[in-house]
């Protein structure tokens, strides 16, 4: 696959927490419109990699490009220089992010949560943002909850609002950081369904999850990470059913 | 509850002599000690009220005479003025200090820390008296480059009326405490809120004003009202820098009318109680408004 066509490209990403190397020279290429699912044991660096893509986590070495644009840094001769906070904030409009703990704004209504970003960044008028928000809330099945506060919703509903909020800026790439890990088991399905509904719609999705079933059904590619490295990647049929690496086999034998 | 497949009658459920157990009421435990304690307190309170009403020592007639005298109301106005100015200036200073202490800039962090440490260490009365004697220390106040030219000059003696000195002193003190109240409030807003704001690309000022501050206020308001009530009562110290506030007027009148000391002190008490009650009422309304999103 050609480098230029990649929606997300990570090259040589490395990061240390003190003496511990959480990301160890990671390379990842994600095609536009594809669904990539990252699996692996806790502490493998999955979330750190995901957070590095929208620069919530700064890399010590390596680079990330989204739709060909360097994220968080610019080239300065042979070195990389960190961008200003304002420039980084502007870049994030292209990258939606859904958190494990939803992180909705509890003092704002559902509708205000979804319209905040387009209005605050000046990308839409209030009326336009509202129209788009109503559309998005209908898409995730929460049209009637627009005036509710997050505290009045179930975990699954809150996470679906968070998905609508992440889509409000029409990002080309949406990142999901364990979107169902904080949910009661019976609420997992509705959130996974909302994510699956986005697949194939042209938006590039990267999902860190422990839901192997979701990976099998919805992923175009599955990436298995362990100890800060990508151990193995490929179509779900290969990685999940015929893993080549013993570490992948060991992990899958425990979670399946 | 039967777990077997037998019909209920066979194991005696429907024919049970206890079939009306569900209607049996539970009688709460009696607490005779509470009634005795209540009686004792009521008797003591009645005695106290009776004493207040009938003891000639309180001179309620004189209390009525002084309560709304122009001289007392002038003092009350000064108290309100100094409190309001210091509350606003102190809060603004507190927000600036709190933001400086939370900033990534080590110089700002240190300066803010030193300021808070210093003004929390020095008694308010000492701050006021130092400021009051400032004109002896600094003849003029000029604004300009250190050791270089100055752009503005003020004659300290003309500048520093008692009201200004009192307001500056109280504000300096208030800012140090307000800073910690505001900082505590901002820290009470979860990390996830800031991360979500950052991930959405919300501009920094918007993040602070619309996301962090409204949530921080719920922790700030009760603590700052506490601070404000301390300030209202703290203004009684400005009497020592020759400013005749409510307490100052009461003191002055007491030396002129020594027989009315007790009713005058009661007048001051009544007014301070009224002021703090109004502030508490305002707190109640503000907290109710900030509770959006908590309703279930």
- Residue-wise pLDDT for B86-130, tens only, equals 999 999 999 999 999 999 999 999 999 999 999 999 999 999 998
What is the architecture, at CATH level 2, of domain A8-255?
Answer: 3-Layer(aba) Sandwich (3.40)
B85: pLDDT confidence band, cut at 50, 70 and 90? very high
Distance between CA atoms of B204 and B189, rounded to whole angstroms?
15
Using CB atoms, which residue from B195, B196, B203 is nearest to A89?
B203
Distance between CA atoms of A176 and A173, rounded to whole angstroms?
10
List of chain A residues whose C-beta atoms are within 8 Å of the C-beta of residue B211: 105
Cβ <8 Å between A89 and B210: no
pLDDT value at B153 more than 70: no
Q: Which of B105-114, B139-148, B224-233 has the lowest mean pLDDT?
A: B139-148
Confidence at residue B2, expressed as pLDDT on a 0 to 100 scale = 43
Q: Which of A57-66, A245-254, B139-148 has the lowest mean pLDDT?
A: B139-148
Do residues B293 and A149 touch, judged by C-beta distance below 8 A?
yes
Do residues A107 and B293 touch, judged by C-beta distance below 8 A?
yes
Confidence at residue A1, expressed as pLDDT on a 0 to 100 scale = 43
pLDDT value at B275 more than 80: yes
Total of domains in chain B? 1
Could you tell me whether strands A35-39 and A204-208 are parallel, antiparallel, or unpaired per DSSP bridges? parallel
Closest C-alpha to B276, from B53, B17, B57, B87: B87
Q: Which of A100-109, A148-157, B134-143 has the lowest mean pLDDT?
A: B134-143
Cβ <8 Å between A117 and B215: no
The verdict on residue B155 lying in a domain is yes
pLDDT value at B155 more than 60: no
Distance between CA atoms of A40 and B208, rounded to whole angstroms?
36
Cβ <8 Å between A105 and B193: yes
A220: pLDDT confidence band, cut at 50, 70 and 90? very high
8-state DSSP, A98:
E
The verdict on residue B157 lying in a domain is yes
Q: Does A117 touch chain B (CB under 8 A)?
A: yes
Mean of pLDDT values over B196-224 = 93
Cβ <8 Å between A97 and B294: no
8-state DSSP, A145:
G
Q: What is the chain A residue with the closest CA to B213?
A: A107
Cβ <8 Å between B202 and A89: yes
Closest C-alpha to A217, from A196, A191, A190: A196
Do residues A66 and A235 touch, judged by C-beta distance below 8 A?
no
Distance between CA atoms of B120 and B173, rounded to whole angstroms?
7
The verdict on residue B169 lying in a domain is yes
Shortest Cα distance, chain A CAs vs residue B182, angstroms: 18
Closest C-alpha to A66, from A48, A85, A52, A77: A52
The verdict on residue B37 lying in a domain is no
Cβ <8 Å between A150 and B202: no
What sign for the dihedral angle of Cα B180, B185, B188, B191?
negative
Scan for tokens 């409204």, then name that residue: B214
Q: Which secondary structure element, helix H or strand E, spans residue A69, and what is its range?
A: strand A69-70
**Containing structural domain, residue B275:** 69-290
- State the burial class of residue B104 (Cβ atoms within 10 Å of its Cβ: 0-12, 13-18, 19+): exposed
List of chain A residues whose C-beta atoms are within 8 Å of the C-beta of residue B290: 107
Mean pLDDT (chain A, rounded)? 93
Q: Which residues of B136-164 are buried (b: 16+ CB within 10 A; e: fewer)?
A: eeeeeeeeeeeeeeeeeeeeeeeebebbe
Mean pLDDT (chain B, rounded)? 86
Confidence at residue A255, expressed as pLDDT on a 0 to 100 scale = 85
CATH number of domain containing B277 = 1.10.3720.10
Confidence at residue A4, expressed as pLDDT on a 0 to 100 scale = 52
The verdict on residue B242 lying in a domain is yes
8-state DSSP, A7:
S
Confidence at residue B143, expressed as pLDDT on a 0 to 100 scale = 59
Three-class secondary structure of residue B136 per DSSP: helix
How confident is the model over A116-169, as pLDDT tens digits? 999 999 999 999 999 999 999 999 999 999 999 999 999 999 999 999 999 999
Mean of pLDDT values over A237-246 = 94
ipTM, two decimals, is 0.91
pLDDT value at B5 more than 60: no
A-B Cβ pairs (cutoff 8 Å, strict): 76
Cβ <8 Å between B292 and A149: yes
List of chain A residues whose C-beta atoms are within 8 Å of the C-beta of residue B201: 89-93, 117, 121, 169
Distance between CA atoms of B119 and A176, rounded to whole angstroms?
48
Using CB atoms, which residue from A85, A92, A151 is nearest to B199?
A92
Confidence at residue B21, expressed as pLDDT on a 0 to 100 scale = 79
Confidence at residue A236, expressed as pLDDT on a 0 to 100 scale = 95
Alpha-helix runs per DSSP H in chain A: 46-53, 85-91, 110-120, 126-139, 155-167, 185-198, 212-218, 236-241, 246-255
Higher pLDDT, B149 or B205: B205
The verdict on residue B40 lying in a domain is no
What is the per-residue DSSP string for B1-68? ---SSS-GGGGTSTT-TTTTGGGPPPPPPP-HHHHHHHHHHHHHHHHHHHHHHH-GGG-HHHHHHHHT
Q: Which of A1-10, A14-23, B201-210 has the lowest mean pLDDT?
A: A1-10
8-state DSSP, B210:
I
Confidence at residue B247, expressed as pLDDT on a 0 to 100 scale = 93
Query: Both tokens of residue B221?
Result: 């308001």
Three-class secondary structure of residue A220 per DSSP: coil
pLDDT value at B296 more than 50: no
Domain positions in chain A are: 8-255
How confident is the model over A49-63, as pLDDT tens digits? 999 999 999 999 999
pLDDT value at B57 more than 70: yes
Confidence at residue B23, expressed as pLDDT on a 0 to 100 scale = 81
Q: Does A180 touch chain B (CB under 8 A)?
A: no
Residues in Cβ contact with A220 at an 8 Å cutoff, skipping those fewer than 6 apart: A31, A34, A35, A36, A235
Cβ <8 Å between B295 and A108: no
Scan for tokens 């606003």, then name that residue: B88
B156: pLDDT confidence band, cut at 50, 70 and 90? low
The verdict on residue B295 lying in a domain is no
Mean of pLDDT values over B19-26 = 79
Do residues A181 and A102 touch, judged by C-beta distance below 8 A?
no
pLDDT value at A243 more than 60: yes
B146: pLDDT confidence band, cut at 50, 70 and 90? low
A224: pLDDT confidence band, cut at 50, 70 and 90? very high
The verdict on residue B1 lying in a domain is no
How confident is the model over A64-91, as pLDDT tens digits? 999 999 999 999 888 889 999 999 999 9
Q: Which residues of B58-95 are buried (b: 16+ CB within 10 A; e: fewer)?
A: ebeebbeebeeeeebeebbebbebbbebbbebbbebbb
List of chain A residues whose C-beta atoms are within 8 Å of the C-beta of residue B204: 85-86, 89
List of chain A residues whose C-beta atoms are within 8 Å of the C-beta of residue B194: none
> How many residues are recorded in chain B?
296
């Amino acid at each position: 696959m050609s480098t230029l066509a990649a929606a997300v490209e990570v090259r040589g990403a490395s990061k240390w927490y003190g003496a511990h190397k959480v990301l160890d020279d990671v390379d990842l290429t994600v095609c536009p419109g594809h669904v990539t699912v990252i699996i692996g044991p806790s502490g493998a660096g999955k979330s750190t990699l995901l957070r590095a893509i929208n620069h919530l986590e700064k890399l010590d070495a390596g680079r990330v490009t989204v739709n060909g644009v360097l994220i968080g840094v610019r080239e300065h001769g042979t070195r990389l220089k960190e961008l200003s906070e304002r420039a980084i904030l502007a870049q994030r409009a292209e990258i939606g992010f859904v958190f494990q703990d939803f992180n909705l704004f509890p003092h704002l209504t559902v509708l205000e949560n979804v319209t905040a970003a387009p209005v605050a960044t000046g990308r839409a008028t209030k009326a336009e943002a509202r129209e788009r928000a109503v559309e998005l809330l209908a898409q995730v099945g929460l049209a009637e909850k627009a005036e509710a506060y997050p505290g009045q919703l179930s975990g699954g509903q809150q996470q679906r609002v968070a998905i609508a909020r992440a889509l409000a800026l029409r990002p080309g790439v949406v990142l999901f950081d364990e979107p169902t890990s904080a949910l009661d088991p019976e609420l997992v399905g509705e959130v996974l369904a909302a994510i699956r509904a986005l697949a194939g719609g042209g938006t590039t999705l990267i999902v860190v999850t422990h839901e192997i079933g979701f990976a099998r059904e919805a992923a175009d590619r599955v990436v298995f990470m362990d100890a800060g490295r990508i151990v193995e990647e490929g179509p779900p049929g290969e990685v999940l059913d015929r893993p080549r690496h013993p570490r992948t086999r060991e992990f899958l034998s425990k979670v399946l | 509850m039967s777990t077997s497949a037998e019909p209920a009658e066979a194991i005696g459920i429907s024919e049970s002599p206890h079939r009306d157990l569900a209607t049996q009421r539970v009688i709460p435990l009696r607490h005779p000690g509470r009634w005795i304690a209540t009686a004792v307190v009521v008797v003591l309170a009645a005695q106290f009220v009776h004493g207040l009403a009938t003891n000639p020592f309180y001179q309620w007639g004189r209390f009525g005479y002084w309560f709304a005298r122009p001289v007392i109301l002038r003092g009350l106005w000064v108290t309100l003025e100094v409190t309001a100015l210091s509350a606003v200036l102190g809060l603004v200073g507190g927000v600036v200090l709190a933001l400086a202490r939370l900033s990534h800039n080590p110089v700002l962090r240190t300066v803010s820390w030193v300021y808070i440490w210093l003004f929390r260490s020095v008694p308010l009365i000492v701050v006021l008296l130092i400021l009051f004697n400032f004109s002896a220390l600094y003849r003029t106040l000029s604004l300009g480059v250190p050791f270089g030219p100055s752009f503005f000059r003020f004659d300290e003696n003309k500048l520093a009326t008692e009201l200004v000195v009192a307001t500056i002193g109280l504000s300096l003190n208030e800012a140090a405490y307000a800073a910690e109240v505001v900082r505590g409030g901002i820290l009470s807003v979860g990390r996830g809120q800031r991360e979500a704001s950052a991930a959405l690309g919300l501009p920094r000022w918007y993040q602070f004003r619309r996301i962090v501050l409204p949530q921080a206020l719920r922790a700030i308001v009760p603590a700052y009202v506490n601070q404000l009530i301390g300030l209202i009562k703290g203004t009684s110290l400005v009497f020592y820098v020759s400013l005749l506030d409510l307490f100052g007027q009461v003191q002055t009148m007491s030396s002129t009318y020594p027989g009315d000391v007790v009713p005058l002190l009661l007048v001051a008490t009544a007014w301070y109680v009224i002021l703090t009650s109004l502030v508490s009422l305002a707190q109640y309304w503000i907290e109710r408004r900030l509770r959006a999103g908590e309703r279930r």
